[in-house]
Amino acid sequence: MKVMQLNFHKTGQTHWTTLQLKVQPGKQVVVQYNHCHDIAQVLKICQLAPETVALDDILVERTVETTDLARATRNHAAAIEALYLARQKVREHHLKMKLTSAHYTLDKHKLIFYFTAAGRIDFRQLVRDLASIFKTRIELRQIGVRDEAKLLGGIGPCGRRLCCTTFLGEFVPVSIKMAKNQKLSLNPTKISGLCGRLMCCLQFEDETYEAAKAALPDYGARVLTVDGPGKVVGMNLLAHVLHIRLDGREVAVDYDLAEIKQQTKKGEKIGETKAVR
């Protein structure tokens, strides 16, 4: 079954539907979804088994036209004005939430506000006030700080635009173990992005570091080098270089993996292992 992946908003989740229109990835289409018309971007077109993906009830009508883009531009300007007014209402209701962005659907049948908050917020009265002002359906969607950074954009520590803003689709889990594998400083200010969470780029090369780590002996393992037995006290994963403290010596010596004749696990003796291939 041929399917297409769509995205309505860069902070929102992606949607899958059947391929209903001959279009190339990256193009924009006009769709009907949740009783509203809006513009979506085609992210991917592929062949998938029906049981491997959950399809949404989306009607893809046509590719965008110049009039659609002009209308979307006007809607964007109106959404910015609505955002300022909605922020005033948030202050009036003394709600502990931060409105980040607003979005009108193409037909203006719905006005969506994206916000961040530390916990759950009772915004029912706020929604009623906004509906009476804008005379349309109001929807408030709570997003995380990573989504907020993706929406607002910015320059990362590397000096380039944020990955989440430019090319990342949905976020993937990032752990402190990835920073440890890459021998990075564990100072939060060094490995955190503008969102305050661990940088997404930590997972880009994690698979390579994991594979390199699996090919080398663990820290503390006993090895037999061309100069005699010793213990692993450090390593350069990508270069496949081990820092070995030879028996009877204090200063560690660097050895390439090819120079290691035998390796053991912690607690094993040199004679109990096989030679390294």
**CATH code for position 244:** 2.30.30
**Which phi and psi angles does 276 have, rounded to 5°?**
-75, 135
Q: Which of 143, 166, 188 corresponds to the end of one domain?
A: 143
Look up the CATH number of the domain holding residue 111.
3.30.300.20
Same domain, 75 and 139: yes
Domain count, the chain: 4
The answer as to whether 211 is a domain residue is no
The amino acid occupying position 235 is M
Domain range spanning residue 237? 217-272
Q: Where are the alpha helices (DSSP H) in 40-197?
A: 66-92, 124-134, 145-152, 163-166, 176-181, 188-191
Q: Which of 64, 92, 114 corresponds to the end of one domain?
A: 64
Q: What DSSP string runs through 38-56?
A: EEEEEEEEEE--GGGSPPP
The answer as to whether 208 is a domain residue is no
pLDDT of residue 69: 92
Element (H, E) at 208: helix 206-215
- The phi-psi region of residue 34 (left if phi > 0; otherwise alpha if psi is between -120 and 50; otherwise beta) is left
Closest CA to 248 of 227, 273, 220: 227
In order along its 277 residues, the chain shows pLDDT tens digits of: 888 888 887 656 788 888 888 888 888 999 998 889 999 988 888 888 877 888 888 899 889 999 999 999 999 999 999 999 999 999 999 999 999 999 999 999 999 999 999 888 889 999 999 999 999 999 999 888 888 888 888 888 888 888 888 877 778 888 898 888 888 888 888 888 888 889 988 888 888 888 888 888 888 888 888 888 888 888 888 888 888 888 888 888 888 887 877 666 555 555 444 444 4
Same domain, 169 and 103: no
pLDDT of residue 74: 94
pLDDT of residue 265: 55
Same domain, 183 and 223: no
Same domain, 187 and 133: no
Tokens of 121: 């917020």
**Which phi and psi angles does 233 have, rounded to 5°?**
-120, -5
Global confidence as pTM: 0.72
